């Protein structure tokens, strides 16, 4: 009973202290706490770090985010050398924002017609090049120096594409091509391509018994 009574009394006194600490004292304390939090934030994210972030965003063409960071830097570190450098970037960033907005409007108006055709694309760590697109009732693949393997279409024809891939990854996932139909501003998946290697150095490399320098990204 004694321990319970002590705990209850402590809680009651604590409540009274909270109740009595309102008004100007509480507001002053809250203001001081906010000032300390703001100071800590400035220490964690100083001017030089903010400027580096701005440059990185510009390099990645993230201009709206860069403009927001510039404004924040000028507000919190107005007299810094970093602020002077950031000021010189404002006109460039604002012009790029206008250009991006104009391009977005153009793409919206033209739909998929606005997409530029290209035979080369960079997808993550892969660079993909399409050298030929054609139709055929069959295609051959996995030539190992002795045998050509053939695949035949059961109905109609295949859509065929020759694809070469280079990668900065030693064990990449190969991109998968697909065919879509376009209607207005939407795309509908028709089917995905099956990917086969065109050739191998030997039957052993085809079977995986030895490495093939032409098809091995780890080399």
pLDDT in tens, 105-150: 888 888 777 777 888 988 888 898 998 889 899 888 888 888 888 8
127 plus 139 within the same structural domain? yes
- Which parts of 76-218 are beta strand (E)? 120-123, 126-136, 138-141, 149-152, 158-167, 178-183, 186-192
Return the pLDDT at 32.
62
pLDDT of the residue at 35: 61
101 has pLDDT over 90: yes
- Banded pLDDT at 7 (limits 50, 70, 90): very low
Average confidence (pLDDT) over 169-191: 85
Alpha carbons within 13 angstroms on the beta-carbon side of residue 12 total 6
First to last CA, the chain: 78
With a pLDDT cut of 90, the percent of the chain lying above it is 23
Per residue in 54-96, pLDDT tens?
999 999 999 999 999 999 999 988 999 999 999 999 999 999 9
Instruction: Please report, rounded to a whole number, the percentage of residues in the chain having pLDDT higher than 70.
Output: 80
Binned at pLDDT 50, 70 and 90, residue 4 comes out as very low
Residue 122 CB burial class (10 angstroms; 0-12, 13-18, ≥19): exposed
Average pLDDT, the chain: 80
Say yes or no: 105 and 122 in one domain: no
Whole-number Å distance between alpha carbons of 40 and 34: 10
Q: Is residue 103 part of a domain?
A: yes
Whether residues 127 and 200 share a domain: the answer is yes
Which whole-number Å values give the CA distances from 198 to 131, 132, 134, 155, 179, in the listed order?
A: 13, 13, 16, 23, 21
- The answer to whether residues 106 and 174 belong to one domain is no
pLDDT of residue 37: 67
Tokens encoding 109:
């108006």
Of 66, 96, 114, which residue sits at a domain end?
114
Domain extent at residue 60: 35-114
Phi, psi of 196 (to 5 degrees): -130, 150
pLDDT at 1 over 70: no
Do 127 and 73 share a structural domain?
no
82 plus 124 within the same structural domain? no
For residue 121 the two structure tokens come to 């694309």
The pLDDT of residue 68 is 94
In a domain, 30, yes or no: no
Number of domains in the chain: 2
Do 133 and 196 belong together in one domain? yes
Most confident option among 13-17, 91-95, 139-143, 183-187: 91-95
Residue finishing a domain among 94, 114, 134: 114
Confidence grade of residue 97 (pLDDT, cut at 50, 70, 90):
very high
Q: 3-class DSSP state for residue 70? A: helix
Distance CA 104, CA 116 (A): 14
């Amino acid at each position: 009973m004694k321990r319970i009574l002590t705990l209850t009394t402590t809680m009651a006194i604590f409540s009274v202290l909270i109740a009595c600490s309102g008004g100007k004292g509480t507001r002053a304390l809250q203001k001081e706490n906010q000032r300390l939090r703001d100071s800590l934030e400035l220490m964690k994210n100083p001017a030089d770090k903010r400027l580096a972030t701005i440059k990185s965003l510009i390099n990645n063409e993230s201009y709206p985010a860069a403009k927001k960071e510039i404004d924040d830097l000028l507000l919190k570190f107005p007299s810094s050398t970093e602020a002077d450098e950031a000021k010189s970037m404002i006109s460039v960033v604002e012009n790029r924002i206008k250009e991006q907005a104009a391009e977005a409007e153009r793409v919206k108006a033209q739909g998929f017609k606005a997409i530029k055709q290209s035979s080369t694309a960079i997808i993550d760590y892969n660079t993909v090049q399409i050298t030929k697109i054609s139709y055929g009732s069959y295609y051959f693949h996995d030539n190992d120096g002795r045998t050509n393997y053939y695949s035949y279409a059961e109905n109609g024809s295949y859509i065929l594409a020759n694809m070469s891939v280079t990668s900065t990854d030693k064990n990449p996932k190969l991109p998968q091509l697909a065919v879509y139909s376009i209607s207005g501003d939407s795309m509908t998946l028709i089917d995905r391509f099956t990917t086969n290697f065109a050739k191998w150095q030997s039957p052993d490399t085809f079977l995986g018994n030895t490495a093939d320098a032409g098809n091995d990204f780890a080399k």
